[in-house]
Structure 1
C-alpha cells in the first residue's frame, strides 16, 4: 500500500491492474455498459457463450434466499442426518398455526422477528419458500427445510 495515496500497489506480489478477476455480470448489463461491452470485444475469449450457465438474477436470488434462511435459522454448518436442533426449533417457533408447514405468512413473521420489518415482505417469503418446496405445494415442511438447508446453494 502506498501510504501517501492510500492506493494498493501489490496483492500477493502482483499489481492489481495485472490480475484477472472473475465477476458475475448479466448478459444484458454486459451489452448495455460501454465499459463492459468494450472489454468483451477486446477479450472475447474471456466471455462465456450467452447460453452457458444461468442468468445472474436467478443465481443471486437463490443465494440471497438461502442467506436469509440461514440467518433466520442460525444453521449449524455441520448438520447431522437428523434435523439440526436449531432448524427444528426455528420451525416450531415459526409455524404460527401449528399445521406442520411454513407458508408465506409464517415466513413473513419469521423475517419480521429475525431480520426486521424492512425484510418482511410476502415477495421475499414466497421466493424463500419456492427454493425449498420439494413437493410444490407452496409450503415447506420440516424435512424440506432440513434437507434444503443442508444442500444449500
Structure 2
C-alpha cells in the first residue's frame, strides 16, 4: 500500500474513534466529552491532526506539557481549582511560555543570543551595553561615531 493510502486510512480510523468516543460508545468516564476539542483537551493531544504531523515528538510533548500547565493555571485541572499562583508567574506564562513558538524562540534567545541580529530582542543587556546602544542610536552612524562609541564603552568597562 502506498503511504497516501495508509495516511488516509489512519485519518479515517482516527475520525471513527473520535466519533465513537464522543457518541459514548467507547467512553464511560467521569468527564463529559461533547466535541473533538473536549477530547483533545482531555487526552492532551490533537485528535484532529492529520497523519503527516509536522512536529517532532519533542515538540509534541512540549505542547502537551504546556496544555497541562495551562489547565492548571486556568483552574481546570482537578486538585488545582483553589490554588493560588504568583501573578508574575502567570503573566510570564501567558506572555511567553504558553505557546510553543514563543517558548521556543525565548529558549533560543536565551541560549544563543549572539545569533539574533536584532539587538532589541537580546535578553540580559548590561547597563553599559544599553548606554552604548543609546549613544549609537542618537548619532548618525559613521566609522568615527562608532569608533567613538566603542571607545567610550571600553573605557567604561575598564573602570568596572
- TM-score with structure 2 setting the length: 0.24
Q: Which structure has the higher relative contact order (CA within 8 Å, separation 6+)?
A: 1
Give the structure with the larger helix fraction. Answer: 2
- TM-score with structure 1 setting the length: 0.25
Larger Rg: 2
